[in-house]
Amino acid sequence: MHQLSRRTVLKSFAALSGSVLLPGHSMADASLPLLRAAPSNAQLAPAGYPSTPVWAYATEGKGTVPGPEIRLRAGERVRQRLVNELPQATAVHWHGIRIENSMDGAAPLTQAPVPPGEEFDYDFVAPDAGTYWYHSHNRSTEQVARGLAGPLIVEDLDPWLGESGAATRELVLVLDDWLLDSNAGIVEDRWDDLHAASHGGRMGNTVTVNGAAYPELVVRRGERIRLRIINTATDRIMPLALPDMTARLIALDGHPVTPRDVETLVLGPAQRADVVIDGRKNGEAQAGLLLDPGNGEWVEIAAIIHAGEPVPESNSDVKPLPAWRMLPAPDLSNPQRETLLMEGGAMRGVQEARFGGKKMGFRELASNGMVWAFNGVAHGMEEPMFRSALGRTVHLEMTNRSMFPHAIHLHGHHFTIQSQSGSANSPGDVRDTVLIGTDETVEIAFVADNPGVWMIHCHMLSHQKSGMMGWFEVA
């Protein structure tokens, strides 16, 4: 984050929140579990390559990539004391959770970044079952690319696993994209690469599943398994396929959907999908999870190995997940209508935009590291994009006038996809991050039922850093 924006935001919200939450834990509960952010090492490249120096989360011992799984039931509290052992300030965002504003971890909007050697206490309720994740939200283009991300799984209060038509077990698959050099080290000198930022973002050359290149996932023939798939990449959109296996989609971004067949699953950065697969009853023992890296040639990123004793094949359709209990339905009879226009990047660019309160042409914007804009404003942290009264339905029309897709994420809320939703979206789906293609318009609606100041940004983190950032206020 830029220093000017941080000062402006902290000053602006002091009156709103009483005071911005500062690092430290005076008057805090000393029993909070620790979540350390520290340098570590991980074997990201295939066997035979050196391990990779990373930054990683740990609850005990050395940090791991991905970070340790945090699992709880809906309505329970996430309680973690962040201990910063990094050389940079950091903060933790709990992605997709409809969370108390002061716990959102969106530095510098909802808290000051936690300096090296300092601590910060996170304590909040996770109200909704689903697949979520946590990650750095300060200097996130670099810090997430170095490994600061982990899964957050919220189990439903109603039983699902083991029920008739449901899965018998589940696998959490954290997908990531790494830019590594010939010695398997993270490429260090391109954090401010405007060429990459003005295109698709910082693309890697190694994709990992649960921190490993080309892992083997063992299933039994006939076994029904729930895959919780999380795209934690900084910029890579991941088209995925499970050829020759029956796959049914049951949730997107944590929210249940009516089970439906899925052949190709497209996950933008930060998006999640829950998919039920059935192990093959007959045929070859090996299948695969495939990725299209962008050239139309599918590559295997994980092998699915059928081994062990077969289990009786489920002949019933996939059991839907329990519905969420507390998500209010948008009232579209008289919504507050807002728009979001995305401009910039290579090949089209932006003629001028406001940055830091000043109108600038393209060259001056680029000299300040800005190549993208929302509604004519680059990195718009001085004023809110819009304000909404508590409980009001907001209809947001988002139009992409650039040559590149964007994954737009709203903090603190889930929203419903409306009609005319673009090729990657289905009307009626409920999400927290939506993928919007070139020259597409996506309409969403949500009830502004979570008070506070909330970020809205592109989760291609290179795009976020270089201009695609704003915020809205729920009074």
Among 119, 117, 27, 29, smallest CA distance to 77 is for: 29
Is residue 390 a contact partner of residue 451, using CB atoms and an 8 Å limit? Answer: yes
User: Which sign does the torsion angle of CA 67, 77, 119, 471 carry?
Assistant: positive
pLDDT value at residue 312:
85
Residue 466 CA: distances (Å) to CA of 1, 44, 185, 215, 345: 10, 28, 25, 34, 9
Question: For 228-241, what is each residue's pLDDT tens digit?
Answer: 999 999 999 999 99
pLDDT value at residue 283:
83
Q: What is the mean pLDDT of each run of 10 residues along the chain (475 residues)?
A: 35 36 48 96 96 97 97 98 98 98 97 98 98 98 98 96 95 98 96 97 97 96 96 98 93 97 96 96 91 94 94 87 95 97 96 96 97 98 97 98 98 92 86 96 97 98 98 97
End-to-end CA distance of the chain: 25
Question: For 10-40, what is each residue's pLDDT tens digit?
Answer: 333 333 333 334 444 434 566 899 999 999 9
Phi, psi of 173 (to 5 degrees): -115, 105
pLDDT value at residue 423:
75
pLDDT value at residue 18:
33
pLDDT value at residue 30:
66
The CATH number, out of the four listed (3.40.50.150, 3.50.50.60, 3.30.70.3000, 2.60.40.420), of the domain defined by the range 169-306: 2.60.40.420
Question: For 191-211, what is each residue's pLDDT tens digit?
Answer: 999 999 999 999 999 999 999
pLDDT value at residue 29:
61
pLDDT value at residue 313:
75
Q: Where are the domains of the chain?
A: 3-155, 169-306, 336-474
Residue 129 CA: distances (Å) to CA of 290, 321, 327: 27, 10, 11
pLDDT value at residue 227:
98
Whether 169-306 and 336-474 share one fold: the answer is yes
In the chain, % helix, strand, coil (3-state, to 5) comes to: 10, 40, 50
Top-tier CATH class for 336-474: mainly beta
pLDDT value at residue 379:
97
Residue corresponding to tokens 């039994």: 220
pLDDT value at residue 420:
67
CATH 3.40.50.620 assigned to 3-155: no
Longest dimension (CA), the chain: 67
Residue corresponding to tokens 């990779």: 52
* pTM (2 d.p.): 0.93
Find the helix or strand (DSSP H, E) in which 205 lies: none
Among 173, 32, 166, 174, smallest CA distance to 103 is for: 32
Token pair in block for residue 263: 């052949």
pLDDT value at residue 14:
35
DSSP readout, 344-360? ESTTT--SEEEETTEEE
Three-state SS string across 49-78, please?
CCCEEEEEEECCCCCECCCCCEEEECCCEE
Residue 56 CA: distances (Å) to CA of 85, 95, 135, 320, 326: 10, 17, 10, 35, 34
